[in-house]
Structure 1
Amino acid sequence: MTQFAHDTIFPLKDSDLSKKDQVADMFNNIAHRYDFLNRFLSAGVDIWWRKKAIRQLKKLNPKKILDVATGTADVAIMSASILNPEKITGIDISDGMLEIGRTKIKKQGLEKTIELVNGDSETIKFADNSFDAVTVAFGVRNFEHLEKGLAEIKRVLKPGGKLVVLEFSQPKTAGVTQVYNVYMKLVAPNVGKIFSKNRNAYKYLDESIKKFPEGKNFTLILDNLGYTNTYCKPLSLGICSIYCGEK
């Protein structure tokens, strides 16, 4: 498997823990403020991004969905409403995030539709050809080995099934780029420090986005892994992108 530049970006530079363990610890630490900071730092636009990504699956009408790196289950809950599937399974390596997700699911009475379990993208504990669709929102940057995780997702997709990835990207428009860079380098880490007491998490966010193989580079990775009909849809002047591929 190829190693990509963002694979070497860790939340903590002086830790002996693997990237996977560091990411799990990081999200456990910020779980209690994660949803608030998402809404605050994106001015609520992240909700629209998620809905736009989920709607890429409308024509497919999937009955069984896997939400990888489900976090606090935002995409799983929105998918239940927009797509009305029979079953959504969310997996994540952070028990802290899953705990908050389960509380949200119970509050909305979705326990029969959505199940959250601790699980790793690189060793998905489901049989081949298990899901009609797989979603990953703001999670692929955190995979310890990007290709391995994407290959595992393809394995559990049914033939004709679809992967939808939502991920941050870097805007290329003059003027927007400069404002974005200042925001990600200074504003986001300091706001993160104030509200979650964890500046490193949002510093890692900036660094990992800069190194991530975005746009055509990401769809090329999907192509090389055997995905078909791959495409990329930039959102909000390129701050975020939707990537899709089929098995």
Structure 2
Amino acid sequence: MPNSETPKAQAVQQMFSEIAPRYDLLNRVLSLGVDQRWRSVAATLALEPAPTRVLDVATGTGDLALLMKRLRPEAEVIGLDFAAPMLERAREKAAQLELPVTFIEGDALAMPFPDASFEALTVAFGFRNFADYAQGLEEFYRVLTPGGRAVILEFPPPPAGLLGRGYRLYFERVLPRIGGLISGKPEAYRYLPASVARFPKPEALAAMMREAGFRVRYRLLTGGIAAVFVGDKPYA
């Protein structure tokens, strides 16, 4: 998540802390369950090189971290987030599923890990909340081993065409109402479409990842509603 000292970071931290109890339910309802399929795509790509240490940044309630541990039980999986209530929920889920995943409170822009600590790194729907995208990518590159892989799953700005118009209508008008009704925090679900609208287009984010040193490829999911980016850190 963003640097925890900035006003944006403090606001985002408070917002996600407040919606933590209903976060999983809302993800399923508001995405019609498609978010789970998107996370499966991200997990498969991250685990493709058979990593032994994996970091899930902005882990939230731990869905992606737990999925990767289930898919690759021999790997050590760590989840990082700066919203303590989210991490409490993640730890509860890990205990219920009997999956040994470590969840750590920390700042994604100044991660508490040495250089070259992980062979794979993921972030699902949290990167757009970073206060500084370039700094976040530099941190990803720093903590990855040579040959390591970063996978970013995000909502790009709505695509063009009929699907994009329908998606924009849902995202801007319907989602905030449903999210606010279920969570009691309508401002959090007004923030979501606004943060997506401000997010870089896929080709722009790919260019930023290349600038950070990654070899990059990406693909659009569900007609461009989501996108997954793969950045491989060169060996030399």
Q: TM-score, normalised by structure 2?
A: 0.94
Select 1:79's aligned residue among 52, 56, 68: 68
User: Matches of 1:74 and 1:138 in 2, distance apart?
Assistant: 11
CA contact (8 A) 1:137 1:166 kept: yes
- Partner of 1:242: helix, strand, or coil? strand
The one-letter code of the counterpart of 2:176 is: P
Consecutive unaligned residues of structure 2, counting only runs of 5 or more, are none
Cα RMSD after superposing both structures: 1.4
**1:84 CA drift (Å):** 2.8
In the alignment, the residues of structure 2 paired with residue 106 and residue 65 of structure 1 have an alpha-carbon distance, to the nearest angstrom, of 19
Q: Which secondary structure does the structure 2 equivalent of 1:175 belong to?
A: helix
- Say whether the 8 Å CA contact 1:123–1:152 is kept in structure 2: yes
User: Residue 12 of structure 2 corresponds to which residue in structure 1?
Assistant: 23
- Partner amino acid, structure 2, of 1:164: V
Structure 2 residue 219 is the aligned partner of structure 1 residue 236: no
8 Å Cα contact 1:151/1:225 also seen in 2: yes
Q: For the structure 1 residues 149 and 184, does the alpha-carbon distance in structure 2 shift closer, same or farther, using more than 3 Å as the test?
A: same
Taking every aligned residue pair, what percent have the same amino acid on both sides?
A: 38
Is 1:164 aligned to 2:151, yes or no?
yes
Partner of 2:56 in structure 1?
67
CA distance in 1, matches of 2:189, 2:64: 21
Give per-residue Cα distances to partners, 1:114-169, cap 9 Å, x unaligned: 10010111000100000000000001011111111110111000000000000012
Q: 1:246 aligns with which of 200, 225, 232?
A: 232
Cα deviation for residue 22 of structure 1 reads 0.7
Paired residues of 1:33 and 1:196 also in contact (CA < 8 A) = yes
Whether 1:220 aligns to 2:207 is yes
Match of 2:32 among 43, 58, 76: 43
- What is the TM-score when the length of structure 1 is the normalising length? 0.90
Q: Mark the CA change 1:82 to 1:214 in structure 2 (over 3 Å): closer, same or farther.
A: farther
Q: What SS does structure 2 have at the residue aligned with 1:234?
A: strand
Cα distance in 2 for partners of 1:57, 1:141 equals: 19
Q: Match for 1:146 among 133, 150, 155? A: 133
Match of 2:176 in 1: 189
- The count of corresponding residues between Structure 1 and Structure 2 is 230
Residue 239 of structure 1 aligns to which amino acid in structure 2? I
Q: Is the deviation greater in 39-48 or in 192-201?
A: 192-201
